[in-house]
Amino acid sequence: MIFSSLTFLFAYLPVTLAVYFLTPLRWRNWVLLAVSLFFYGWGEPVYILIMFLSILIDYTHGMLVEKYRSDDRKARWFVAQSVIFNLLLLGFFKYWDFLAANLSLIPGVRVPQLGIPLPIGISFFTFQTMSYTIDVYRQDAPVQRNMVKFGTFVTMFPQLIAGPIVQYKTVAAALEHRVNTTEDFARGAGRFTVGLAKKVLLANSIGALWEECLAAQAAGTLTAVSGWLGLLAFGFQIYFDFSGYSDMAIGLGYMFGFRFDENFRYPYLASSVSEFWRRWHMSLTGWFRDYLYIPLGGNRHGTAKTLRNLFLVWFCTGFWHGASWNFVLWGMYFFLWFLLERYLLRGVLDRMPAMVKHLYTLVVVFVGWGIFAMEDLGVCGRYLAACFGGAPVWSAADGFRLRSYAVTFLVLILASTTLGRDAWEKAPEKARRVLMPVLMFLGLVVCTAYLVDGSYNPFLYFRF
């Protein structure tokens, strides 16, 4: 079940909200746990068992870390057990076939591929539960002694499938006691509607152009112009797809009394690659900073160890996204740009005009999206070669694509800036109160019409 589906919008969510708010406060964690497990099990019921196992392991290890806090060696060992379990769980389901296929390339080595479907959201909930035991050890978060409350944290359906990655310490207080207000509910409903519109009206619409350009590549008719149009299309698609999901998750959190951290901050306004990653998927960037980069020493122990730490972070960032070499290459691509900006380009970038810095950043990022999108490295290489002069510059089909998608691109560009937000915030409060329900209703009607009429509606990040 996905947020941008008629089943979710007009069956699951209304029933869930009705049951939740009709339930006394002290039982609402039970309700949220039950409806979240139902949500997760809608598509693959068998994997609820994995969810139960993950909850049990990390709940008990959090308790053990707290129990043996006075014995640091034992406490560290229980943290290590939790981390190892989560990494093994993620590694088996997500990476076994990848490792088996690559190991089997070695003469005399045969490792069977199992073909087990990837549990949806496993990359997200394993990172969440793993950070819990680490935070309990660091005394950054209180231990949770109630398994229902801990299970609610792990399975909470708004952010279960594709984030943002929620750390336990950010919702610990709300799990114990939360106040649901009409203001928060209205704010959440508005945020959810914005996210739905991003996904259905923007991401889905431009995704068709990316598929068209991939088809042109396969047919040998891709030009440089259509190659860049395709990269732009995918870059906008993944941004509005994933930020739209994050908006919906954050909005649902408000509706149920939780505050989730922001996950995007207008990343395409960045003026450097480093700044882009401070604005994009911030919960993942923050996770690797807090639980890998800083524990390894960060930049505190000289250049060589800083380079090692950055390499490991970017290798893991790429590999986290998928069991394919293109994701590893994508991580290494940004690792190299980080090094260039950190050690060679810092002074150059400072002297560049703002527009040039912005254009440079977009070119680097959108080329990176090409590496990210195409798992076949041969196809990826030929596609990017076409973008940089390895194909004719222009064809009649490009003119048709430009005319067909010109308005869509204009809307995407404007929507990726702060113009809409700034205009809304400058409007009188009375006007906003009147317009908000009207815009929400119109947005829901238009999105519903698109969902009834359309067929392309996946969330790109579900496969991670």
Give CA–CA dist 440/433, Å, rounded. 11
Give CA–CA dist 439/243, Å, rounded. 20
8 A C-beta contact, residue 452 and residue 6: yes
Nearest Cα to 275, choosing from 322, 345, 327?
Answer: 345
Active site residue 321: yes
Burial class (CB in 10 A: 0-12, 13-18, 19+), 385: middle
Neighbours of 105 (CB within 10 A): 7
452: its two tokens: 């009834």
349: its two tokens: 């970038």
Give CA–CA dist 90/65, Å, rounded. 22
The one catalytic residue in 61, 177, 321, 358 is 321
Give CA–CA dist 98/371, Å, rounded. 18
Residue type, 74: K
Residue type, 65: V
Give CA–CA dist 365/241, Å, rounded. 17
Give CA–CA dist 195/244, Å, rounded. 4
Give CA–CA dist 464/462, Å, rounded. 5
Please name the residues in contact with 441: beta carbons below 8 A apart, sequence gap of 6 or more.
none
Check residue 268 and report its DSSP letter. Answer: G
Q: Measured in whole angstroms, how far is the alpha carbon of residue 87 from the centre of its chain?
A: 19
Give CA–CA dist 143/140, Å, rounded. 10
158: its two tokens: 């708004």
Task: Tell me the backbone φ, ψ of residue 185, rounded to 5 degrees.
Answer: -65, -45
Q: Measured in whole angstroms, how far is the alpha carbon of residue 257 from the centre of its chain?
A: 22
Distances (CA, A) of 270 to 322, 343, 379: 25, 19, 29
Identify the three-state secondary structure at position 310. Answer: helix
8 A C-beta contact, residue 342 and residue 326: no
Check residue 300 and report its DSSP letter. Answer: S
Q: Which residues are catalytic?
A: 321
